Chains A and B, each alone.
Chain A
Amino acid sequence: MRKLGKALYLVFAFILLYLPIVYLAYFSFSSGQDMVHFQHFSWVHYQALWADKNLIAIFLQTILLAILSSLIATAIGTCGAWGIFRLRGVQRKTLLVFNNVLMVAPDVIIGASFLICFTALGIGLSFWSVLLSHIAFSIPIVVLMVLPRLHDLDLTLIDAAQDLGAGKGLIFNQIILPEIMPGILSGLFMALTYSLDDFAVTFFVTGNGFTTLSVEIYSRARQGINLEINALSTVMLLVVLLLAGGYLFLTRQHDISLGARS
């Protein structure tokens, strides 16, 4: 009886969690115009999506922004992690505290304060202000992903390499980089999802000329229901499922290699 109760609760909770998402995807295949009556199955909203050149341009902009910002954030964050790793004591603690400020700050505050900053610096609101913001809020997560890897680094290996006459460049490329690569990659991945997922900060720092998918969805959703958004969500849902599957696959392989080592 208690087992049944537990199973029922589990089912209830997961219906609750997934109902909105399924509901959204379900109506993307309706030929109607609302999320009330499912007319009959049709691809009409997907065709509209495909024909919407404006939306596709925004989609490509969003991807470009995510790739650029995550790559730059990963480069700066990895260097930062290396720098922090070499520091000791108070300096290191201070840097780590400041590193986490943007991790805990609410989006609205980040957006608003960046807006003040750009205005003070005389940077106009455009693609560049959005790019700078995305780089800025992605750096701390990269640092947090890379640092543990650096701590796991076997320092005797570096000593050995030095004794054997390896230069600094060689040590970095052949020993340090391969060891911390998984951390760098997860940092890159997190930065990518942060950028793709962001709405609030972009909303504050974007100008007339540039929008991302999130901002576009927001402005359309404020006007009410539009099944083209449903079709778009379903596409994004599939992308997320693929990414999640890929990530799971990668980490599982990683788990195995970790298990083999220890």
Chain B
Amino acid sequence: MKNKSSFFLIPYLMWLLLFVAMPIILLTVNAFTDTQGQISLTNLRAFLANGACLKMMVNSFWYALLITGLTLLVSYPLALVIANCRHQRLWLLLVILPTWINLLLKTYAFIGLLGQHGLVNQALQFFGVAPRQLLFTKAAFVVVAAYIEIPFMVLPIYDSLHALDKQIVAAARDLGANAWQTFWRVIWPLTLPGVRAGVQAVFIPSLSLFIITRLIGGNKVITLGTAIEEYFLTTMNWHMGSMIGVILIVIMVLVLLATSGKEQNR
């Protein structure tokens, strides 16, 4: 049976070798070699010495934080309402359904919505605000990215709300806590694992988005993802692109550690 199992594993191991191990190794090798193929720290040094690059990294982090915050602000109440109403499965399905629609199409819709005479500007005009440039602004980028990410935040939060023991909430109320205290002292801490999972699911992709930055943010917003795409496909400087890739991976791992490490301390 042992031999048989290794026979089954051959194509799978080939895949691991060619499409998991090799890409990681080649990306790292590319990041730490210069254009002559010599091993060097040129790219890292260039990245750290270049103020624009550092600023881009900080900005990218900052945008991801804003997007995650905005998503959480909309999603937590939504998850809370859904977890406390009838037909929960139906509502959840309705939350999931937009994720099945291609990201590009949803982003494209916002080109129309946020246009000079689009629906949002028409609504603003209705309230007496003069139409303004919305498309190709930083705010538009954050809003559209948050819109895309909402379902990925709602689901884990809903899961932890659903798993919450309703009797604990009832007990808190019986013991005299008001609605706000019950939420802040009981419900929120107990659903933190869900919030953490949601933050992970939103923050990390937000660092590497490049479609939304291109279509909605114009060229004003440059995230780590946009920079990688630019170095690989426009400037054709793969070494620098790989370096930014490695930096993105490092940040990603740090974020994962920061958001899941606390749980073990409890």
Contact = CB atoms under 8 A, between A and B. Distances in A.
| Interaction A to B | yes
Contact of B102 (A120, A204, A236): A236
B62 interface: no
Interface stretch (B36-44, B164-172, B227-235): B227-235
Interface residues of A, number: 77
Interface in B96-143: 97-98, 100-113, 115, 117-119
Nearest to A86: B5
Contacts of A104: 204, 252
B205 A106 contact: yes
Contacts of B95: 17
A76 B15 contact: yes
Given A79-B12, A139-B15, A6 B85 contact: yes
Interface stretch (B45-53, B155-163, B240-248, B258-266): B240-248
B101 A35 contact: no
B6 interface: yes
A60 interface: no
A56 interface: no
Interface string A225-247: 10001000100110011011000
Interface of B: 1-2, 4-6, 8-9, 11-12, 15-16, 18-24, 26-27, 30, 74, 77-78, 81-82, 84-85, 91, 93-95, 97-98, 100-113, 115, 117-119, 147, 150-151, 204-205, 207-208, 210-211, 214-215, 225, 228-229, 232-233, 238, 241-242, 245, 248-249, 252
17 contacts: A10-B85, A13-B78, A23-B112, A35-B111, A36-B117, A75-B11, A76-B12, A80-B9, A82-B8, A112-B27, A113-B27, A114-B19, A117-B23, A168-B4, A204-B232, A221-B108, A222-B214
